[in-house]
Amino acid sequence: MGRVLILSIEEVKNLLEKLLSRYKVYGPVKAKDFWKFEEITNPDEVDLGYISTMLPIKKYFLPPFETILHVKLGEDKEITIKEPEVNEKCVLFGVHPCDLKAILLLDKVFLDELKDPYYLKRRENTIIVALNCTAADEYCFCTTFGAGPFAKEGYDLVLTNLDERGYVLEVGSNKGEELIKAMGFAEVSDEYRETILKRKEEILRKMESEINQKRRIPNVEKLPELLAKNFNHKVWESMGKLCLACGSCNLVCPTCYCFNVVDKFSINLREVERIRTWDSCLLLEFAEVALGGNFRRERLARFKQRIYHKLSYFIEQYGEFGCVGCGRCIRWCVRKIDPVKIVGEIMEKPVPLS
């Protein structure tokens, strides 16, 4: 741990090449007018200048569709249950700090005392090479929650672009250390190391102030209390009307974890797949119960559920904000509904805090 290396862009490609020879590698790839995380086969496919992918990397730990049980219904009432095996070992290359932080938050949900076996296996089998952010767009607000622009923990390796000098590569885990050892990159002198780390610090400060200026929730530590007191603030009503309740925000959010479970029969009615799929609390059916009951029938109630879960309930549940400020829910919203603006409006005219 603590090792620092300098890689030229060629050496970064070299690193990717080496990873590709040993693992399945997923990385940011430019699609038409957005980026996505995809399997890569050639280092040139990766776009390390990307800002944000449409879907977050949670898809590699909690796939959008996943069989959680295979069930065989035999003759004579015999039932055999088999658990699918999760074996793939892979590398996620170029994960931005907000998305990495989101995985650390999902760990709190899936790896508490009742561990999700499939999530756990994928976490163990995945190597994360993070990529600190040296560019942001108008939707990014990671600094509000301390999730970015630079990663603090949870990575095996992390890269930071220093422009003409190439990339700093730092090691964050034993797994990362072993990888690097095996690759035989040269170490830098102590002196140079100092210079590099100083330069890195400068870039970090510059990025932080740039993001803070563009988009930020001030006094975020007061936010849960402010929201609790302003549950009936007038801003909500207009939002409830603006929101289409399409659920896109839930799908693109790196910290949304809700899922549905359905059983699917095979054609011969002898085999059943129990499948879980991403779900969305914005959808009407989400909180429906027997005989037509629904505890969030109003669109406004569903809209508030998402915002309050991220900015208030999650803290009570897991001790941290449930938002990492990746900006996806704004970026991809048809109506450009913006939680930062909503909070801003509440802050402008709040019900006074005690």
Ligand X SMILES: Cc1cc2nc3c(=O)[nH]c(=O)nc-3n(C[C@H](O)[C@H](O)[C@H](O)COP(=O)(O)OP(=O)(O)OC[C@H]3O[C@@H](n4cnc5c(N)ncnc54)[C@H](O)[C@@H]3O)c2cc1C
The contact set with other proteins (CB under 8 A) reads 68-69, 71, 73, 77, 79, 81, 83, 109-110, 112, 114-117, 231, 257-263, 265, 269, 272, 274, 276, 279, 281, 286-291, 293, 295-296, 301, 304-305, 308-309, 312-314, 316-317
Of 323-352, binders to ligand SF4 (CB under 6 A) are 323-329
What residue ranges in the chain does DSSP mark as E strands? 4-7, 24-30, 35-40, 65-73, 79-82, 90-95, 126-131, 157-161, 167-171, 259-265, 271-278
Strand, coil or helix: what is 305? Answer: helix
296 contact choice in ligand X, ligand SF4, other proteins, none (CB below 5 to 8 Å, kind-dependent): other proteins
Task: Kindly tell me which of 235 and 258 has the beta carbon lying closer to ligand SF4.
Answer: 258
Shortest Cβ 53–other proteins spacing (Å): 23
- Cα dist from 350 to 13, 21, 22, 340, whole Å: 52, 57, 55, 15
Q: With binding defined as CB under 6 A, does residue 305 bind ligand SF4?
A: yes
Piece of 57-65, 190-198, 286-294, 330-338 that binds ligand X (CB under 6 A): 286-294
- Burial state string for 271-286 with b = 16 or more CB within 10 A and e = fewer than 16: ebbbbbebbbbbbeeb
* Signed CA dihedral, 56, 58, 60, 64: sign only: negative
Q: Nearest-CA neighbor of 24 among 127, 130, 172?
A: 127
The Cα–Cα gap between 195 and 34 comes to: 35
Among 288, 308, 318, 341, binds ligand X (CB under 6 A): 288
* Complex with ligand SF4: residue 11 or 99, whichever CB lies closer: 99
For position 256 contacting ligand SF4 by CB under 6 A, the verdict is: yes
What's the token pair of residue 20?
């590709």
Nearest to 100 by CA among 53, 62, 141, 151: 151
- For ligand X, which residue of 290, 316, 348, 354 counts as binding (CB under 6 A)? 290
Q: Which phi and psi (to 5°) does residue 283 adopt?
A: -80, 145
Nearer to other proteins, 93 or 314 (CB): 314
The residue within the footprint of ligand X, chosen from 2, 289, 316, 348 (CB under 6 A), is: 289
Tell me the site size for ligand X, rule CB under 6 A.
3
Q: Which residues bind ligand X (CB under 6 A)?
A: 288-290
